[in-house]
Structure 1
């Protein structure tokens, strides 16, 4: 493999080297830099440090050892696989670890090299992986345009269930099937620009979107950006049509408080508010920083504490009054929220 062949693959490339032995890290880093002056070698002593670096800047290739403290190579490969970050991984380890290293193949490891690795073994692997990385399948903008038209229709008809479904389908079908994370900053920001233009062409309201997100390091970041922007556009139409999230939220809270001892479901409250359950759940958590279930549980325990402060109330009756028919379950929930049992709480108040 000649220098010019390697150089033609790509210009600046980030190579992350993960190994707990300092001399080995330095040796492989030196080989990487000698391979191409445009290669940047980052190093980490274990899987935990590697994940921290990946969160800051996604490398183009990762070279990792197997046996390391804190987090070994197998656990690291598993984490990266679950994060759905498309990083080509090369395991560089000793002969004794070969059977162990084979397990990494289930997590997308591309190559396995034995220590001590030489330039004649490493350079062809780097070249092959970088060539594969640069030759990506063309992205279908036609497919995205078709999807954007359906999103536009869902927003304009205030159909939040459909919008949430379209979001999920795009994340599951398009963003996690071999996609390169680097693509998504351009694809999604361009897509949001197109969508905002389509919505504004209706002439009903002026829509805006954040078209300059931070760099996406993971599919999760890209997915979160897409969800935030789509829900924001939906909210803008909701506000323009006279919706008032705050008064709606206060009305929902009042309804929950009035029926706190009943088996009240999120779907029932959403129906009373005239909203789709998915959208109501999103708005409720945004306004309270709690899920519907968490809010109901804390309100019930607040009421239980007030009742326990009244000596004539039996502890068992308090649980039933706030909606917990099962006394052991009531005790468990009360202790989870307050740190003590109902009986202990009453004792602290000096009530027997």
Structure 2
């Protein structure tokens, strides 16, 4: 389920940039934009978001005044304050007023991702659910290594966002999806070379390599031996 994020920022280019970052780059979020604190409060009174990101300096109601109003409605909504370098100390003092995090402009996508991951750290029940999804993903990969597999294939299979699945590989295995796929294809190739008498091109095909020549090049680079040399030595 998509998490609702309210972005309160009077600069349109920053609002739209955050919308793209959250919806298209990180994924799993649906952004509502507000160009002022007053407009942000109107949205909150209609529907409480899962997260609020607000600029600290805006025309009219500033970020701290807006935050104070939000806290009258809800004590629990996580709030991220955006500030320029000159407002650094001002923003830090806001941490005592119920702000979850603050980020300096321009927003760095890696920092934003880390902050959001910390805010939405899964509970034990959600962790179990995530683990089940991930085991299902791993099983699918093992059963379909001979085929092309992308994050979008996996997303369709388990009904999750591709970007979220990519993040799962990082959090669960500490490696990227691409790194994992390369590792598993090479592992499968070694098993087939060691345990069968299949021809090299057949091993390549069953391990998911489209080109036997490419397979032999990659194998030599990673293993230090050609497929035939590896087979003869095992």
Alignment TM-score > 0.5, same fold: yes
Quote how far apart the aligned CAs of 1:234 are.
3.6
Quote how far apart the aligned CAs of 1:247 are.
2.0
Divergent runs of 4+, >6 A? 238-243
Quote how far apart the aligned CAs of 1:293 are.
1.8
**Counterpart of 2:200?**
315
Inter-partner Cα distance in structure 2 for 1:261 and 1:188 = 53
Q: Cα gap change, 1:324/1:142 in structure 2, threshold over 3 Å: closer, same or farther?
A: closer
Quote how far apart the aligned CAs of 1:243 are.
6.3
Contact 1:160 1:276 in 2 (8 A): yes
Contact 1:189 1:212 in 2 (8 A): no
Say which structure, 1 or 2, has more relative contact order (CA 8 Å, 6+ apart): 2
Q: CA RMSD in A?
A: 4.1
Q: Cα gap change, 1:315/1:219 in structure 2, threshold over 3 Å: closer, same or farther?
A: same
Q: Cα gap change, 1:242/1:315 in structure 2, threshold over 3 Å: closer, same or farther?
A: closer
1:227 corresponds, among 113, 116, 126, to 113
Is 1:297 the counterpart of 2:165 in the alignment? Answer: no
Inter-partner Cα distance in structure 2 for 1:189 and 1:328 = 61
Quote how far apart the aligned CAs of 1:298 are.
0.9
1:143 corresponds, among 10, 28, 38, to 10
Inter-partner Cα distance in structure 1 for 2:220 and 2:115 = 39
2:28 corresponds, among 131, 141, 160, to 160
Quote how far apart the aligned CAs of 1:193 are.
7.0
Write the mapping of 1:96-245 to structure 2, written as runs, cut at 5 A.
143=10, 160-162=28-30, 181=85, 183=87, 187=91, 190=94, 211=101, 223-236=109-122, 244-245=129-130
Quote how far apart the aligned CAs of 1:180 are.
5.5
Inter-partner Cα distance in structure 1 for 2:98 and 2:109 = 18
Q: Deviations over 1:174-195 (max 9, x none)?
A: xxxxx96564586489489766
Inter-partner Cα distance in structure 1 for 2:96 and 2:142 = 39
Inter-partner Cα distance in structure 1 for 2:96 and 2:231 = 56
Specify the SS of the correspondent of 1:143.
coil
Is 1:282 the counterpart of 2:167 in the alignment? Answer: yes
Inter-partner Cα distance in structure 2 for 1:253 and 1:275 = 14
Quote how far apart the aligned CAs of 1:344 are.
2.3
Inter-partner Cα distance in structure 1 for 2:176 and 2:186 = 16
Contact 1:284 1:291 in 2 (8 A): yes
**Counterpart of 2:231?**
346
Specify the structure having the higher radius of gyration (Cα): 1
Quote how far apart the aligned CAs of 1:219 are.
6.7
Unaligned runs of 5+ in 2: 1-7, 32-53, 55-82
Quote how far apart the aligned CAs of 1:245 are.
1.9
Q: Deviations over 1:22-41 (max 9, x none)?
A: xxxxxxxxxxxxxxxxxxxx
Unaligned runs of 5+ in 1: 1-140, 164-169, 171-178, 197-210
